[in-house]
Amino acid sequence: MSDPVVDNAVPSGNSSVAIPTDISGQILDLDEDDDLEVFSKGTTLTEGSSFNASMQTSPASMINQYKFEEEEGDADTKDIFVTVDNPESFVTAIETYVTYRVMTKTTRSEFDASEFEVRRRYQDFLWLKGRLEEAHPTLIVHPLPEKFVMKGMVERFNEDFIETRRKALHRFLNRIAEHPIFSSTDDFKIFLTAESGELTSHKKQGPSFLSRMGETVKAVAASVRGVRNRPEEFTDMQEYVEAFTQKIGSLDKVSQRIVREKKEHLEELKECVPIYTLWSQSEEELAEPLKSMADCLDSCCKETEEQVKEHNDLLIPALHEYVLCTETLKAVLRRRDNIQADFEAKTEALAMKKADKDAESKVLSLAWDSLVGRSPEEVKQQRQQKLKGEIKEMRDELDKMEDRLEWANNALKSDWTRWQKVMRTDLRSAFVDTAERNVNYYEKCLAVWESFLHSQRTEAEGNGKVDCS
């Protein structure tokens, strides 16, 4: 198996978003609408990356020279653009919720117009995800954010909370819009275009609760029954997902711990600044170097604070996004196995039915026929005809199940390749962006301290010349 992260796929442009809340803290479960997005990338690295002209930078640094062939994207071929913005909070006696404006621009002929604007709640996004998974069980639907709030957040619906959720939902819809199959589904079209009342009516047309429970029971039974002849390629996929889950999960935990420790370091660093400043007021001969130390530490604190924020904005969201993806992949593989398990069970049932037809007991037939006063041969023919009809129905059903299994296998293989390409592009972009930002951070801090050393050496040399005269 190849490593799930490192790959030679051609990367695309850099992307990140601002997440104002530290995601390294503990989490608390909330209700359906109380999610907090911890992954989403949508803005490019443009701010905070330029250097002051007076700062010294490393001429050997090559990170800033990275250019990707696909940075321009597929804007020329894309025919549907979706934006999630303008959140509005509503408070009623029963609930508190937020709606988001979903704006769509498209040139597709199946749409009645080229632009649409609707408002959607988070539960509407959940409905869309569920419908896509139901209609395409072996295609990979990108995950929505988890339903939790960060420790220390006072307002569940404050501006930071709402903004991070908005970015997550924007990310989710654009993943769907970029998918060659999901973007053409009726459910996605209705989600983008239907007014609230029409969407509510459409949602009621979905499978009933008992129907969903029945499907769940069938899935559990299939998982218990298992599959006997799973194709090797899907076994390889399962092993890949297990390895990827372990690696991406470990990176996610370690990265969050690093950010937490950096924040602790930053708080301690900030405590030094006022100490140097106060000390300079009582040490006349050391006043200038002490003030310079305070200024340097203050500058480094600001840069460190920016670096911590950038880690929260870029690397951790990218890693955690694919932590959530692992659960989606496992669910998709389980659904594929369930389809195969159903096919195998139906194959066994047909074989048993054929065996019953061939091994029908003549003794019991004759005994029963003598009681009812019917010709044994007549009853035998009727039974044979009945069994033939049942076998034919089972064969027809088995043919349909075989077609469904073949479609499911082909769909998963195709979407698996697509998912791997997207995943490797996203993570490569996140790693390179992180490298760029780390280089920027250390070069800025290096320039601050080199400036301090230069000033102190100049002052020392000046004082030495005065003493000699």
Q: What is the pLDDT of residue 321?
A: 85
Q: What is the pLDDT of residue 372?
A: 55
- By mean pLDDT, which of 249-253, 393-397, 424-428 is the weakest? 393-397
The residue whose two tokens read 């074989």 is 351
Is the pLDDT assigned to residue 469 strictly greater than 50? no
Q: At 391, is the pLDDT very low, low, confident or very high (cuts 50, 70, 90)?
A: confident
What pLDDT, in 10s, does the model give residues 54-97?
344 443 343 333 333 344 445 457 889 999 999 988 888 787 88
Say which residues have a Cβ less than 8 Å from residue 44's Cβ, sequence separation at least 6: 13, 14, 15, 16
What pLDDT, in 10s, does the model give residues 310-345?
888 788 888 988 999 999 999 999 999 999 999 999
Q: Which domains does the chain have, with CATH numbers?
A: 27-197+227-342+408-468 (3.30.1520.10)
Q: What is the pLDDT of residue 177?
A: 94
- By mean pLDDT, which of 284-298, 330-344, 448-462 is the weakest? 448-462
| CA distances from residue 315 to 174, 219, 331, 401 in whole angstroms, order as listed | 20, 36, 25, 43
Average pLDDT for the chain: 77
Nearest Cα residue to 236 out of 427, 422, 412: 412
State the maximum Cα–Cα separation within the chain, in Å, rounded to a whole number: 140
Q: What is the pLDDT of residue 284?
A: 85
Is the pLDDT assigned to residue 431 strictly greater than 70? yes
Nearest Cα residue to 86 out of 57, 117, 60: 117
Is the pLDDT assigned to residue 181 strictly greater than 60? yes
| pTM across the whole model | 0.71
Q: Which residues of 63-76 are buried (b: 16+ CB within 10 A; e: fewer)?
A: eeeeeeeeeeeeee
DSSP string, 202-237: HHTTS--HHHHHHHHHHHHHHHHH--SS--HHHHHH
